[in-house]
Structure formats: C-alpha cells, structure tokens
C-alpha cells in the first residue's frame, strides 16, 4: 500500500461564494496545491527553473460529497494512482475532520517544453520515478 501525502490547509474567505460555500473550482486548486507540496517534500519542483520538461494537466475529475466553508480546516490526501511511461495520475481525497468532502483525480503528461517548439510527450524522467518509488508514493 502506497503512502499518502497529506497537505493541510484552511479555507480562505475569498474562496467562498455568496452562500459562504467554497466555489467548486477551488477543489481542483486544492488538489493541485497538494501535488506541488508533495513534489517539494521530495526536494524538487514540478516547474524546475531552466528545465525543458513540463507536466501540463490532461484530465481532472472531482466528485463532491459535502460543502466546505470559510475557516474549515482540510487535509488533501494525494497518492500516485498510476505512473505510466508518459503520464502521472494522482488520486486525491479532501477530508474535513472525519468527513470526506470530495474525491478526485488529476492526470499530467510529461512534455518537452523547449521554447519555440510544440509541446511533445516524452517519458517521465527516471530521476522523478525514483523519487516517487523511494517515498513509497506509488500504488
């Protein structure tokens, strides 16, 4: 069983609508923040300066189970569900206390992003794969 990375966060007022509920789009932002925090915890950045490798989002889903409101403290639990040759699929669970408020997935493609060239899918670098393996983040 893979280890989940847990990102803790508090809902900010600007993330809520007039009903005081977090706008649905923020759930995707929370998942992405958790992804970036997980990479940082491994000592790397998903957008490393000077690197010609990028990880654009190619798919994202979110199923909502309960609303979030201003000042709610949440855990965003993220694990790598699949690491293929050219893609990484994350599974996320957003939890407030003992309540699951949402579940979702995000898939990124690994691309060559050299300036002046069209994006082209490439293999996920072995160094990144090894970091995920060593941290036991793969399911």
Q: What does the DSSP assignment read for 61-111? A: EEEE-S--BTT-EEEEEEEEEEE-SSEEEEEEEEEETTEEEEEEEEEEE-E
Residue 136 and residue 131: Cα distance in Å, rounded?
Answer: 9
Domains of the chain are: 5-134 (3.10.129.10)
Range 49-67 average pLDDT: 94
- Band of pLDDT at residue 50, cut at 50, 70 and 90: confident
- 3-state class of 7 per DSSP? strand
Question: Is pTM beyond 0.85 here?
Answer: yes
pLDDT at 1 over 70: no
If you average pLDDT over residues 44-51, what whole number do you get?
Answer: 86
pLDDT in tens, 67-125: 999 999 999 999 999 999 999 999 999 999 999 999 999 999 999 998 888 999 999 99
- Average pLDDT over the chain reads 94
């Amino acid at each position: 069983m893979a280890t989940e990375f847990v990102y803790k966060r508090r809902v900010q007022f600007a993330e809520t609508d007039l009903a005081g509920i977090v706008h649905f789009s923020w759930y995707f932002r929370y998942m992405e923040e958790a992804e970036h925090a997980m990479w940082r915890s491994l000592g790397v950045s998903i957008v490393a300066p000077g690197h010609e490798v990028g990880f654009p989002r190619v798919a994202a889903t979110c199923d909502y189970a309960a609303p979030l409101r201003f000042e709610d403290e949440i855990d965003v639990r993220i694990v790598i569900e699949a690491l293929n040759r050219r893609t990484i699929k994350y599974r996320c669970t957003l939890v407030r206390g003992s309540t699951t408020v949402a579940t979702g997935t995000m898939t990124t493609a690994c691309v060559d992003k050299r300036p002046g060239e069209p994006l082209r899918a490439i293999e996920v670098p072995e160094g990144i794969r090894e970091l995920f393996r060593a941290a036991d983040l793969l399911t």
